[in-house]
Chain A
Amino acid sequence: MADVKQFCTFYLDKLLFGVEVGKVQEVIRYQEMTPVPLAPPVVSGLINLRGQIVTALDLRRRLEFKERDSDTLPMNVVVRTGEEAVSLLVDEIGEVLDVEDDIFEAPPETLQGLARELIRGVYKIKERLLLVLDTEAVVTIDGGNAQ
C-alpha cells in the first residue's frame, strides 16, 4: 500500500499546483493589499490577516509566468514556514487532493532554471499533472533583490 499525501491545490495560468496541506495555514479570498515601495517585484504587498501583517507574494511573478489579467483578482493561499506566515497569490483555488506516492515522479531533465528549484516533482493524477511546489524555496527570496 503506497503512502498517501494530501495537497492543497490551486491554479496558475491553467496549470495545477499543489502545496502540502500541513504547510497551509488557510485559504482566503482576495484581500486589500498595501504595496511596499522599493520591495522586490515578487512582493505584492502586505495584507491584514486578523490583525497579523502577512507578506503577499505573487506566485506568477515568482515562477516567472506572465502577469495576471488586471480584472481577475487573485486568491490567497497562506502558508506557514518556520515562524512566518506568507501568502501566495494564485489564480483560483482547487480542491484538497489525496495522492499516492507511486504516481509521483521527479521533474524531467528538460525542466531547468528557476522552475526546477521551485518544483519538487509531479503527481500523475487522472487527466492531468499536479505540480508540487517546494514551499520553503518558494517563499525564500534572495535578499540581494531588495534595495
Chain B
Amino acid sequence: MDDVLKDFLVESNENLDRMDRHLVELEKYPSKETLDNIFRAVHTIKGTCGFLGYSKLESVAHVAESLMSRLRDGALRVNQPITDALLATVDVVREMLASIEAIGGEGERDDSALIETLHALQSGDTTSPRSPSPAAPAATPSRSAMPLERMSIKELETLLEVRAKGVGEPAATPKLGELLVQMGETTAEQVNQALAEQAKGDPRRIGEILVQQGAVRPDALLAMIQSQGEAKGVVSDSTVRVDVAILDKLMNLVGELVLSRNQIMQFAASQEDSTFLATSQHLNLVTAELQEGVMKTRMQPIANVWNKFPRVVRDLAAACKKQVRLEMEGAETELDRTIIEAIKDPLTHVIRNSVDHGIEMPEARTGAGKPAEGVVLMRAYHEGSQVNIEIIDDGGGVNPEKVRDKALQKGLITAAQSARMSEREMVNLIFLPGFSTAEKVTHVSGRGVGMDVVKTNIEKIGGSVDVNSKFGQGTTLKVKIPLTLAIIPALMVTSSGKRYAIPQGSLLELVRLGDKAGKAVEMVHDAPVYRLRGNLLPLVYLNRELKLGESTDSAGKVNLVVLQADGRQFGLVVDAINDSKDIVVKPLGKHFKGLSAFSGATILGDGTVALILDVVGLAQKANVVSEARGRTQVSAGNVSLDGAGQRQTLLICRYGLDEWVAIDLSSVARLEQFPLTAIEKSGGHAVVQYRGQIMPLIHLSNVLGGAHGEETKSTLNVVVYRDRGKSVGLVVAQIADIVEERVEVKSEHHGGYFSGAAVVHGKVTDILDVRGVIESVDPSYLAQEQAA
C-alpha cells in the first residue's frame, strides 16, 4: 500500500475516533468549538477521499458535512436523532476505510438510506411526530451488540418519513473564506465569486483567487492562514509521526545492545586494565539510559484505549435506558504499546458490565437516594514499577451472599469453604470460570465472556485484578500491570544440565530442602506434595514435565521454586537455583506455536540461549490448574488431585486417650475452643452458648467409648457441625490434622457411628458418621427445623 493511502487511513481513523468523542460530548454540552471540531474532521475526510477517488465515501462524507454545516450555522439544533445519524456515519466511514485497507476499494455497498436520512435531517425533519421517542426504543436495543452499521440503517429508515427532497448545501464553504469575511478583510460576495471560480474548475486555492482579484490583502491572507493553521493544530507541535515498525526495530536493537553490554560486563569483571574498566562502565551507563529512552518511545498514553469508551458508554446506557456518566482521571498515564493492546478488551468488558449490571435504572437509584445519573470513574496512575487502573462505579454493587450462593450452586466451592469466607473473598468469587450472576444474560454484555476471561487476560501480561464492592453503594475493580514486557527480571534455574529462566512476576518464594528432602516430599496417592506452612503444595518436577530424563540430584537435595499461576500455587522442583537477572525476552518462532511450557527465549551473558518458562502453561500441563475444577481463593488446605475412587478431605481427631477418628471436612462448619467454664447444663445435656444459639455438646468419648481425657484440661476442643441452622458441637481431645485420603465407604446403616474407613498415616482410621452420632444421642434434635 503506498504511503499516501497509508497516511490517509491512519489520519482518517484518528479523525473518526475524535469525531466519536466530540459527538458524545456534543450531545451533553453543545458548543461552537465542538461543532467546529467535528465539522473540520468531516471536511478533511471528504476532501481527501474525493482527491483519492473514493466516490462512495465522498458522497457520505459530503452529506454529513452539509448537515454539520447547518448545525454550525445555527440553522439546526443538536438532538438525539442527529447525533445518532452522525454516529452512524462515523461507523459507515470506518467500515469503508477498513474495506479500502483490505481490498483497496469501498466494496459493494449501498448507503443511500443513510444519505437520505442525513439529507432529511438537514431540513429539520426530525421534528416530525414519527421520530425519536417511539422509534428509539425499537431501534436502540439493536445498536450496541450487533454490527452498528446494519442496525442503524434500519433504524434510520424507520426514522425517515420524507424521502430525500432537499438537495443539501452546495460545496462546503471553505473555512478560509469564512474567516476572511468574519474578520472583515473581504466581503461575502467576493468570497462567493471566488467560490464560483473554483466551481468552474479553477484549480487555485481560494486565498490565491481572492488576492489576485484584489479582494484581500496578501498580509491579511497570510495572517488568516496562520491562525487557521493554529486552530487546526490540536496535536502538539513538538511531536513527530514514526512508523511503529521502526520503533519495534529500535527496541530490538537496544535489546541486543543490552545483551552485548551484559557480556562485556561479565568479561570486565575479570579484567584489570583500568582504561577498559572505565570504558565498559561508561558503556554500561549509556546503554541503561538508551534502554530507558527507547522504552519510553513505546509508551502510549492510556487515553488511546480510553477514548473509545465515552461512545461505548453512551450507546450502552441508551440501550439499557439508564443514565450513566463516564469520567476519566489519569488518561495521560503511559503504558507499553503491547500492554495497551492486551487490556483493550478486558477493560471494555468491565465498563460494559458496570453500565449493564452495575448501575441501576434511574428510578431504582432515586429510590435509593442516589442521583439518577450513575457515574463510572476510570482512574489510572503509576505506582512503583506498575500501572494501576481502577474502574469505580456507584451502582448497586455486588451482593456477596448471592455470589456465594451461585458459586455453591454451581459446585465451584464447597459448603465448608463458603462458611469460612469473608465478604471480600465472596465478592472475588466472580472471577471463577463458569460464573455469571446476571439474572438475564443480555445480548449487550452477557455473551458468556465472564470476569474469569478478564482475569486470565490480565494475568497473561503479568498483571493482577481484584474487586471490592459495597452492596448497594458500588464496585471498585483494581487492575495492576507491570510497566513493560520486553525486559523482565528473571530467576535462572538449572534442570538436567540446561538453564531456564523463570519470570519473577510469578515467583513467590524459594525453598531448599536439604537432608530432610526425602521425608519432606509426601505423596497423596501418586502426586507429590510438600507441606509449606501447613498448606499442601503440589509439586511439579521440571525435568519430568519437559521429559528431560532423571535429574542429576545433588545428594538428594531438593530445590523448590514456589510459583503462582491462575491463583494456584505450586512448587517447581529443579536441580539448582542460580542467580536472578534482567533478561531480554525474545519471542519463539512459529515452529514453537504449540509449546505451552515456554513463553520465549533469551540470550545469556555467555552467549548461550536459554528458554523462558511459561508458568501458567507449565501449570496447565502438569494439571495443577484446570478449567473444569475452578479455582478457589480460600486456603482450605484442599489440594484437588486426580485419582480414581472417593477421595475426601478428612479432619483427624483424637478422643479418649489414644483413639482416633476421622471426620469428613465438608461436615465441619467450624473448629472452636471453649473454656470449661462456658459449659452449662440444659435438660441433662451439656450445652454452650454459641453465636446466639444454645448449642448442645457431645463428648465423642462418651458416645464411642473411651477414657475421658478431656476434663483435666481447662479448654475444650469442639468440632462444630451445622445443619439447617442448628449447630452441634462434638467435643474431642485433640484436633490433630487434615489429610486427603481415599475412603472406603461402608454400607449405610442408620444408627451406626461410622460411615467408612481410610488409611491415615499408615493406620486404619474410621470415619465418623456425624449425623449418626447426633441421632444416637438425641434422635429428634436435628429433625426439627430450627427457627432462624
Contact = CB atoms under 8 A, between A and B. Distances in A.
Contacts of A39: 591-592, 595
Contact of A34 (B256, B596, B608): B608
B592 A47 contact: no
Interface in B595-611: 595-598, 601, 603, 607-611
A34 B595 contact: no
B603 A53 contact: yes
Interface string B379-391: 0000000000000
A39 to B, nearest CB: 6
A108 interface: no
A72 B396 CA distance: 72
Contacts of A36: 588, 592, 595, 598, 611
A32 B499 CA distance: 14
A88 B610 CA distance: 20
B259 interface: yes
Nearest to B611: A36
Contacts of B590: 84, 143
Nearest to B257: A51
B287 interface: no
Nearest to A34: B609
Contacts of A86: 589, 591
Interface in A123-147: 141, 143-147
B498 A35 contact: yes
A80 to B, nearest CB: 12
B460 interface: no
A115 B547 CA distance: 30
Contacts of B592: 36, 39, 43, 55, 146
Nearest to B610: A34
B586 interface: yes
B594 interface: yes
A146 B610 contact: no
Interface string B138-155: 000000000000000000
A53 B594 contact: no
Contact of B608 (A40, A48, A146): A48
A34 B589 contact: no
Contact of A146 (B498, B546, B593, B603): B593
User: Which of B597, B607, B609, B611 has most A Cβ within 10 Å?
Assistant: B609
Contacts of B589: 55, 84, 86
A37 interface: yes
A53 B588 CA distance: 8
Interface string A67-103: 0000000000000000010100000000000000000
B546 A53 contact: no
B603 A48 contact: yes
B609 A38 contact: no
Contacts of B595: 36, 38-39, 146-147
A37 B591 contact: no
A47 B591 CA distance: 14
B260 interface: yes
Contacts of B609: 33-34, 45-48, 53
B591 A43 contact: yes
Interface in B222-256: 256
A38 B546 contact: yes
Contacts of A48: 603, 607-609
Contacts of A147: 594-596
A47 B546 CA distance: 19
Contacts of A146: 591-595
A34 B598 CA distance: 13
B183 interface: no
B572 to A, nearest CB: 14
B597 A38 contact: yes
B586 A53 contact: yes
Interface residues of B, number: 26
A38 B548 CA distance: 9
Contacts of B611: 34, 36-37, 46
Contacts of B593: 143, 146
A141 B591 CA distance: 7
Nearest to B589: A55
Contacts of A35: 498
A143 B594 CA distance: 7
User: Which of A32, A43, A47, A53 has most B Cβ within 10 Å?
Assistant: A53
Interface in B545-596: 546-548, 586, 588-596
Contact of A51 (B259, B546, B610): B259
A136 B607 CA distance: 29
Nearest to B263: A51
B698 to A, nearest CB: 55
B555 to A, nearest CB: 25
Nearest to A86: B589
A40 B591 CA distance: 8
B225 to A, nearest CB: 45
Contacts of B547: 37-38
A51 B255 CA distance: 9
B256 A51 contact: yes
A35 to B, nearest CB: 7
B501 to A, nearest CB: 12
A32 B142 CA distance: 60
A109 to B, nearest CB: 31
B423 to A, nearest CB: 43
B711 to A, nearest CB: 62
Contacts of B596: 147
B301 to A, nearest CB: 29
Interface in A1-52: 32-40, 43, 45-48, 51-52
A142 to B, nearest CB: 10
Given A55-B589, A55-B591, A37 B597 contact: yes
User: Which of B548, B591, B608 has most A Cβ within 10 Å?
Assistant: B591
Given A38-B547, A38-B597, A46-B609, A51 B603 contact: yes
Interface string B250-285: 000000100110000000000000000000000000
Contacts of B548: 37
Nearest to A143: B593
A145 B598 CA distance: 16
Nearest to A46: B609
A97 to B, nearest CB: 29
Interface in B464-499: 498
A39 B591 CA distance: 8
Nearest to B593: A143
A98 B160 CA distance: 72
B490 to A, nearest CB: 16
B445 to A, nearest CB: 34
26 contacts: A34-B498, A34-B611, A36-B592, A36-B598, A36-B611, A37-B547, A37-B597, A37-B611, A38-B547, A38-B597, A39-B591, A39-B595, A40-B591, A45-B609, A51-B256, A51-B259, A53-B601, A53-B603, A53-B609, A55-B592, A84-B590, A86-B591, A143-B593, A144-B594, A146-B593, A147-B596
Shortest Cβ-Cβ A-B pairs, 8 listed: A146-B594, A37-B546, A51-B256, A34-B609, A46-B609, A55-B589, A53-B586, A143-B593
Interface of A: 32-40, 43, 45-48, 51-53, 55, 57, 84, 86, 141, 143-147
Interface of B: 256, 259-260, 498, 546-548, 586, 588-598, 601, 603, 607-611
Given A34-B611, A38-B597, A143-B593, 13 more contacts: A36-B588, A40-B591, A43-B592, A51-B259, A51-B260, A52-B256, A53-B586, A53-B588, A55-B589, A57-B591, A143-B594, A146-B594, A147-B594
